[in-house]
Amino acid sequence: MSKAGRLTHLYDEAKGNKWFYYFAVFCRIVLALAFFISGIVKIRGERFAAGLSVNNPMGHYLEALYHTEYYYTFIGISQLVIGVLLLIPRTAFLGALSYFPIILNICVLTYAVRFEGTRITTIFLLGNIYLLWWDYDRLKYLLQFKQGKENDRPARKKPLSNKFPFLFFGFVVGMIAAVIITNLYIYDIRPGNSPEECTNGCPGNRNPKACEAFCDCIYNQGKPLDECLNAYNKIANQ
Residue of 158, 176, 204, 224 lying closest to 14 (CA atoms): 158
Residue extents of the structural domains in the chain? 3-187, 192-238
From first to last of its 238 residues, the chain has per-residue pLDDT tens of 566 667 777 888 888 899 999 999 999 999 999 999 999 999 999 998 878 999 999 999 999 999 999 999 999 999 999 999 999 999 999 999 999 999 999 999 999 999 999 999 999 999 999 999 999 988 888 877 655 554 444 445 556 788 999 999 999 999 999 999 999 889 999 999 999 999 998 998 889 999 999 999 999 999 999 999 999 999 988 7
In whole angstroms, give the CA distance from residue 228 to residue 120: 25
Distance CA 208, CA 236 (A): 9
pTM of the predicted model as reported, rounded to 2 decimal places: 0.89
Identify the H or E element spanning 146.
none
Instruction: Check residue 144 and give its pLDDT.
Output: 72
Rg (CA), the chain: 22
Write down the pLDDT at residue 145: 62
Q: Could you give the CA distance from residue 118 to residue 107 in angstroms, rounded to a whole number?
A: 7
Catalogue the long-range contacts made by 234-237 (C-beta closer than 8 Å, 24 or more residues apart).
235/207, 235/209, 235/210, 236/206, 236/207, 236/210
Distance CA 100, CA 80 (A): 15
Residue 155: the pLDDT is 47
